[in-house]
Structure 1
Amino acid sequence: MATPTKATTYGSKEQYIPGYTQVRHHEWRTATNSAAYLLPVLQQKAATTPNLNLLDIGCGSSTITTSLASYLPAEGKITATDISPEILIKAQAFAEKAGVESKIHFQTADIYALPFEDGAFDIVHASMVLSHLSDPVAAYKEMLRVTTPGGVVANRESDLTAWSYHPRLPGIEKFHRCHIAVHEAAKGQTTAGPRTLGWALKAGAKREDVEVGCGTWMYATAEERAIWGGSMAERIRTGGMTTKIRELNLASEEEIQEMGDAWEEWIATEDACHGSLHRGELNS
């Protein structure tokens, strides 16, 4: 397996506290459940642009990226970037397993200094990236810069404060409060979804060129509960989130244990569900 290209500009000032090992819930994401707002535009562009060039920023494990590849025309290509060389090796392996590795080039890159020429891409896509940045406007400017005139910037972000779940276990409520506090401590944006339009305008987009929509994720089946709840239980028991909780004195060891146990109880509850709210945005 070839090693993903490492960009010379690699090295962001941001810290992704959850880390790149606890991403099982990321791998549930596909173009259908996480980029449906983009698909009609992508299909339209693919029909008129035989060599369509798509940039996927913050591709992670590449589950969204690889499913986007199926919508490309025969000569179309995706450049998939992430700040983590480690996750890109996993992403490339996933693309190879899906049989679309010839359509995707992986490389490390910093969203604040994308190593691409102005107007290099017909479509620039990012999913849940700006919410982890201290300066999303600067990042959005870079996304606009590398998009060709007449091209599309597609961005999807969540509102971390807008969780809807059942049952409302005290341990999960504590987890939610800690999650928000840790995200803020990392200088992330807890209400990114509702703010993406404002960031786009500050970055130079014109209001009449931006379409804004709303979507959700829902975890309710036994498999979905195991994916989401299992990932959250793992986060609170090990890794960067737990370290930060202890560092900030946000919870006692007993409360950390309670939070992990609450997620296990939630997974085992037949009528349990968890929903989150997202904003999808197209700028053309």
Structure 2
Amino acid sequence: MSHPTTHNTYMPGYAAPQVRHHEWRTAENSCQFLLPTLTSLATNTPTLKLLDVGAGSGTISASLARYIPHGHITATDLSDEILQRAADYAKGKGVSNISFREANVYHLPFEDESFDVVHASMVLNHLDDPVAAYREMLRVCKPGGVVANRESDGRMYSYYPELPGIRKFLDLMVSSLKASGGDVTAGPKLVSWAMKAGARREQITASMGTWTYSTPEERQMWGGTMLERIKHGGMRTMALQHNLATESDMDEMARDWEAWIAAEDGVLGLMHGEILIRK
């Protein structure tokens, strides 16, 4: 099957206010499903190599590096700007067993069977051809290694207080991701995508994970980033260009995100699909 030579772009963008919530993510809160397997592989192969695809600000990459102190992580992303931010973060944390390289998931610049572990978090739900991305990740994974991936299900949000502007925002997030070529239902589709990419069902372990935001700091981080997307980000541009929401709608969304951030009893949770593919 042939694939298009051009693909959709990453709608949220890489400006610091748009990626602030990415920097809350760690190995512990975002890829717990991988850690037992990673620890086991590192016991047998201390110098293992891990590829982190679409690493963004690199907070997951840097925390994964602590689990393989004698191994090495290669963190990739499309943006040189965000990779520099990731490199600065790793340096600040004293992480030295990591390098950074600009790369496209559809055309990874590595030889076949180069890595023991290939990891991606919240990348494929933004892609117009996730199956092709899986093929590339499987290609660069060594026999005996593992491909690990976690993706959101944009329909699965639970939140309180139940403010109407937040409901409108979540509906807009779904419609704008669709308009940009992504898939809001990625989470439960990972097994299907992996099989279409050539993995056998018996190679695959699937699970579900969650994120929860409830402390004042978590509410400020998550809600503040959503406010930025409404006011200045690619989501706002997409909404206005495609008539997905009006200025008045987005004003209401902003007011209710501000109310949610201020609510002492405010809580928000969301669900993700997770997958381990044994090569």
TM-score tier by shorter-chain length is: over 0.9
What residue number does 1:71 align with? 67
- 2:65 corresponds to 1:39: no
What residue number does 1:219 align with? 213
Runs of 4+ in 1 over 6 A off after TM superposition: none
One-letter identity of the residue aligned with 2:83: L
Q: How does 1:78-157 map to 2 (within 5 A)?
A: 78-100=73-95, 102-157=96-151
Residue of 163, 176, 179 corresponding to 1:182: 176
- 2:254 corresponds to 1:270: no
Deviation at 1:73, TM superposition (A): 3.8
Q: How does 1:236-275 map to 2 (within 5 A)?
A: 236-275=230-269
Residue of 233, 251, 265 corresponding to 2:227: 233
Deviation at 1:14, TM superposition (A): 2.5
One-letter identity of the residue aligned with 2:28: T
Question: What secondary structure does 2:60 align onto?
Answer: helix
Deviation at 1:12, TM superposition (A): 6.3
Question: What secondary structure does 2:206 align onto?
Answer: strand
One-letter identity of the residue aligned with 1:273: V
What residue number does 1:8 align with? none
Residue of 41, 46, 52 corresponding to 2:48: 52
Give the unaligned 5+ runs of structure 2: none
Contact 1:214 1:278 in 2 (8 A): yes
One-letter identity of the residue aligned with 2:162: R
Contact 1:52 1:73 in 2 (8 A): no
Identity of aligned residues (%): 56
CA distance in 1, matches of 2:51, 2:213: 28
Deviation at 1:51, TM superposition (A): 1.4
1:188-239: CA deviation from partner (whole Å, max 9, x where unpaired): 0100000000000010111111001111000011111001111101110112
- 2:186 corresponds to 1:192: yes
Deviation at 1:49, TM superposition (A): 0.4
1:115-168: CA deviation from partner (whole Å, max 9, x where unpaired): 000000000000011101000000000000000001000000110111111111
Q: Give the TM-score of the pair, scaled to structure 1.
A: 0.94
Q: Give the TM-score of the pair, scaled to structure 2.
A: 0.96
1:222-269: CA deviation from partner (whole Å, max 9, x where unpaired): 111001111101110112111111111122211111111110000001
Contact 1:47 1:73 in 2 (8 A): no
CA distance in 2, matches of 1:50, 1:181: 44
Contact 1:46 1:73 in 2 (8 A): no
CA distance in 2, matches of 1:252, 1:156: 32
Contact 2:69 2:97 in 1 (8 A): no
CA distance in 1, matches of 2:113, 2:9: 28
Give the unaligned 5+ runs of structure 1: 1-10
